[in-house]
Amino acid sequence: MKCSIGQDSHHFIDDESKPLILGGVFINNHKPLKGNSDADVILHALTNAISGITGVNILGEIADDLCFRKGITDSKEYVKEAMKYLGSQVIVHVSFSIECQTPRLSPFMEEIRESIAKLLSLDESNIGITATSGEGLTAFGRGLGISCLCIVTVT
What residue ranges bind Zn ion (CB under 5 A)? 8, 44
Residues 6+ positions from 96 with CB-CB distance below 8 Å: 23, 42, 45, 46, 127, 128, 129, 130, 148, 149, 150
Pairwise CA distance, residues 48 & 82, whole Å = 8
**Which residue's Cβ has the minimum distance to Zn ion?**
44
Tell me how far, at minimum, the Cβ of 35 lies from Zn ion, in Å: 6
Tell me how far, at minimum, the Cβ of 22 lies from Zn ion, in Å: 12
Report the SS3 class of residue 6.
Answer: strand
Nearer to Zn ion, 36 or 130 (CB): 36
Nearer to Zn ion, 44 or 93 (CB): 44
Nearer to Zn ion, 31 or 44 (CB): 44
Tell me how far, at minimum, the Cβ of 135 lies from Zn ion, in Å: 24
Tell me how far, at minimum, the Cβ of 49 lies from Zn ion, in Å: 13
23 phi and psi angles, rounded to 5 deg: 60, 30
Q: Return the ∠ at Cα 65 (arms to 63 and 70), rounded to 5°.
A: 105
Nearer to Zn ion, 13 or 90 (CB): 13
